[in-house]
Structures are given as structure tokens and as C-alpha cells.
């Protein structure tokens, strides 16, 4: 069987790129032990080209601030390294680092309460907060070809389509410094990301079962409760 030749870091037995536990004086890791599917072997020119982007001063500064933010989420205690910052606080800290004043929340209608809470939090920290719900525009689902029998509330009812493109365009035209996705559905989030032209980040993704924490299903996939995730497709 020929070996699959495309990057598969998730299957890596060595993770040499991380150079974990090494001193700076040891220099960069040797690539000799990297697997054949390692992107450092398969696509070195792509990596070099991508890294050149950091020569742009604004990109370099943004990347630097992101790494400083990452650093500040840990504390070194006598008993070891500990995490200390939940993502919502990270969001506030990072937005301040970047000098952002006006934030935008693109949220799902199912997270109206959460959008209000996030607005409270951000306004209390001094930000101006624009927010747009997915249903803004009140366009019926028929506009994108949804049939009556495909409506969640049942045939014969009005259902407003989610319009992440509308959300993105409103963010683009509202002079927000940073757009924040809050609980958009799969696919709707894809469209939002595609059309959003201002810097954006994600506070939460939609998971109707696990309180918007999709990782819970992955963690439970090692137990009988969600072991079905690991069974091979026919
Ligand atoms: S970049 Fe290479 S060494 Fe690093 S995790 Fe991917 S395959 Fe492994």
C-alpha cells in the first residue's frame, strides 16, 4: 500500500516541531526523525513563504500580541505551570492589548441571553458593543430553497433563515475593530468567516447537546456514552 502523502500532524509520533523541553541554545530540531507525512518535509517552500508574512509590521505586531496573550494565560507556581484565564477574559485582555474600542458580536438567536450577558461584560469593561443576530433581515427560509417539510417548527409555519452573510456585512460596515462569533451553527459559521472582512475571533461554537462545548463529545468518545463516534463508517 502506498503511503498517503499529505500533512497529517494529528498522526505524528514525534512532534519534533514543538522542540518541547529543549533549551534555546540547543537550536532548532533536526528534521531527520520527522515522519514522511510531515508538512516540514512535504511543503517546506509553503512554510518559508508563510513565515515571510510576519515581516509585515502589522502582522508581526498582531502575532506578537497574540503570543504575549498566550503567555499571560499561565502562571509559574512552585507546584508547576497553571492556567489562569478563561477565554472570555482572554478576549477582553487581547482586545485591550490591540487597542480595540468597538467590538461586534455575531450571535445565534438561540444564544440571545448569552449575547446579552457578553454585551454586559464587554460594556462594563469599557468597550462599545455592536451586535447582530443571525435572523436579522427577517428573510424567510424559502429564499434559500428550504421546503415546508424541512422547517424546524413544522410545515405551514414562518421560519426566518439564518443569514451569516448579513451578519458579516453588518460587521464590515459598522467599523468594529474585532468581530466575535457567538454560537453560530456549523455552515453558518463557515459563511460568516468567508464574508467577514474585519478581524474576527470565536468565543463559542454551537453545540446544542453539550452546552456549546463540542469537545465534550470527543472526550466522551472514549467511553460507551459516545463510543459511536469511533465506529467505522460502512
Ligand atoms: S510538523 Fe512534522 S514533526 Fe511536527 S507534528 Fe507535524 S508531522 Fe510531526
Convert the pLDDT of each residue in 34-57 to its tens digit.
999 999 999 999 999 999 999 999
Those residues with Cβ within 8 angstroms of residue 89's Cβ, 6 or more apart along the chain or in another chain: none
Please give the pLDDT value at position 234.
Answer: 81
CA nearest ligand 1 atom 2, residue? 38
Those residues with Cβ within 8 angstroms of residue 66's Cβ, 6 or more apart along the chain or in another chain: 94
Q: Express each pLDDT in 157-178 by its tens digit.
A: 999 999 999 999 999 999 999 9
Distance from the alpha carbon of residue 10 to the mean position of ligand 1, in angstroms: 8
> Is residue 228 predicted with pLDDT exceeding 80?
yes
Q: Express each pLDDT in 175-227 by its tens digit.
A: 999 999 999 999 999 999 999 999 999 999 999 999 999 999 999 999 999 99
DSSP state of 160: B
One-letter-per-residue 3-state SS of 40-95: HHHCHHHHHHHHHHHHCHHHHHHHHHHHHHHHHCEEEECCEEEECCCHHHHHHHHH
Q: Could you tell me the pLDDT band of residue 3, with boundaries at 50, 70 and 90?
A: low
Average pLDDT, the chain: 96
DSSP state of 10: G
> Is residue 58 predicted with pLDDT exceeding 80?
yes
Residue 189, CA atoms < 13 Å, CB-side half-sphere: 18
Mean pLDDT for 23-44 is: 94
Please give the pLDDT value at position 2.
Answer: 57
Distance from the alpha carbon of residue 34 to the mean position of ligand 1, in angstroms: 6
Residue to probe by mutation, ligand 1, list 22, 35, 42, 47, most atoms within 8 Å of CB: 35
Give 37 or 2, the one with higher predicted confidence: 37
Q: What is the β-pairing status of strands 74-77 and 80-83? A: antiparallel
Give yes or no for residue 16 CB within 6 A of ligand 1.
yes
Q: Express each pLDDT in 95-134 by its tens digit.
A: 999 999 999 999 999 999 999 999 999 999 999 999 999 9
Q: Could you tell me the pLDDT band of residue 4, with boundaries at 50, 70 and 90?
A: low
Predicted TM-score of the model (pTM) = 0.94
Contact indicator for 37, 6 with CB cutoff of 8 Å: yes
Give yes or no for residue 47 CB within 6 A of ligand 1.
no
Amino acid at each position: 500500500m502506498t503511503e498517503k502523502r499529505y500533512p497529517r500532524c494529528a498522526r505524528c509520533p514525534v512532534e519534533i516541531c514543538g522542540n518541547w523541553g529543549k533549551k534555546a541554545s540547543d537550536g532548532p530540531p533536526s528534521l531527520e526523525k520527522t515522519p514522511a507525512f510531515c508538512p516540514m518535509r512535504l511543503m517546506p517552500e509553503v512554510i518559508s513563504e508563510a513565515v515571510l508574512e510576519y515581516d509585515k509590521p502589522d502582522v508581526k505586531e498582531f502575532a506578537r500580541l497574540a503570543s504575549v496573550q498566550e503567555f499571560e494565560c499561565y502562571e509559574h507556581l512552585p507546584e508547576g505551570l497553571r492556567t489562569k484565564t478563561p477565554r472570555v477574559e482572554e478576549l477582553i485582555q487581547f482586545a485591550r492589548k490591540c487597542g480595540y474600542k468597538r467590538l461586534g458580536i455575531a450571535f445565534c438567536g438561540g444564544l440571545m441571553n448569552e449575547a446579552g450577558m457578553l454585551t454586559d461584560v464587554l460594556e462594563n469593561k469599557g468597550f462599545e458593543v455592536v451586535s447582530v443576530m443571525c435572523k436579522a433581515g427577517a428573510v424567510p427560509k424559502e429564499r434559500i430553497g428550504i421546503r415546508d417539510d424541512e422547517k424546524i417548527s413544522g410545515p405551514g409555519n414562518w421560519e426566518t433563515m439564518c443569514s451569516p452573510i448579513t451578519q458579516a456585512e453588518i460587521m464590515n460596515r459598522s467599523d468594529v475593530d474585532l468581530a466575535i462569533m457567538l454560537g453560530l451553527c456549523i455552515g453558518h459559521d463557515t459563511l460568516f468567516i468567508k464574508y467577514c472582512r474585519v478581524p474576527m475571533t470565536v468565543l463559542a461554537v454551537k453545540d446544542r447537546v453539550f452546552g456549546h462545548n463540542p469537545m465534550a463529545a470527543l472526550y466522551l468518545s472514549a467511553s460507551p456514552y459516545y463510543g459511536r463516534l469511533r465506529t467505522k463508517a460502512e
